[in-house]
């Protein structure tokens, strides 16, 4: 995982819980906290920080990961305005993730371990995103969707009917957009 993800996690923890909590997470995991945004770090390093945050706060791991995804979205928008068009909808944005955004990210960061998305575009008000990744960070994807929905001022419901954590080959995130 790229260091920029760790930098964002640090920002979220410090903003939500304070610098002392971030430092305690680093101490608990034996990490120095120096994450170069373009360098690659192990998934285990990130997971250990999240587990330590869970142990310290009592907040479930999946809830922390989802919150992190939601926190990440506005920062993604701020640093990547070219991915957003004035007339873009939440659905348009979500459909661009795998075929546009991830293509560009791979150009900038060769070897980045990005998830794959397939889509079932049912109609104007529904979309199923099929998420697959060895990382099984589907809750991060859920959080990013939540952050994007806030940005696009779109209400939605999400049904996570199949999950890799339950043995499925991929996660099915079925979204209904509320008019």
Which among 88, 71, 83, 90 has a CA at the least distance from the CA of 156?
Answer: 90
Q: What phi, psi does 118 have (nearest 5°)? A: -115, 160
- Judge if 55 and 7 occupy the same domain: yes
Q: What is the pLDDT at residue 31?
A: 95
* Domain shared by 71 and 109, yes or no: yes
The answer to whether the CB of 125 falls within 8 A of the CB of 142 is: no
For the chain, how many structural domains are there in total? 2
| Longest Cα–Cα distance in the chain | 49
- Please give the residue range of the domain that contains residue 122: 67-178
Residue 18: pLDDT over 90: yes
Helix, strand, or coil (residue 136):
coil
Give pTM, 2 decimals.
0.90
Phi-psi region of 131 (alpha: psi -120 to 50; beta: other; left: phi over 0): beta
pLDDT digits (tens, 9 = 90+) for 76-130: 899 888 888 899 999 999 999 988 888 887 787 777 778 999 999 989 999 999 9
pLDDT the model gives residue 170:
97
């Amino acid at each position: 995982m790229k260091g920029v993800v760790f930098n964002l996690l640090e920002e979220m923890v410090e903003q939500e819980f304070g610098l002392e909590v971030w430092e305690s997470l680093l101490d608990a995991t034996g990490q120095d906290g120096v994450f170069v945004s373009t360098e690659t770090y192990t998934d285990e390093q990130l997971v250990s920080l999240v587990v330590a945050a869970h142990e310290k706060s009592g907040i479930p791991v999946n809830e922390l990961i989802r919150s992190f995804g939601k926190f990440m979205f506005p920062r993604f928008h701020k640093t990547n305005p070219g991915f957003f068009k004035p007339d873009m909808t939440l659905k348009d944005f979500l459909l661009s993730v795998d075929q546009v955004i991830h293509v560009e990210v791979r150009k900038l960061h060769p070897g980045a371990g990005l998830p794959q998305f397939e889509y079932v575009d049912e109609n104007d008000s529904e979309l199923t995103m099929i998420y697959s990744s060895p990382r099984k960070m589907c809750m991060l994807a859920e959080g990013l969707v939540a952050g994007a929905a806030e940005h696009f001022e779109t209400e939605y419901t999400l049904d996570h009917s199949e999950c890799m954590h339950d043995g499925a080959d991929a996660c099915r995130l079925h979204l209904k957009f509320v008019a």
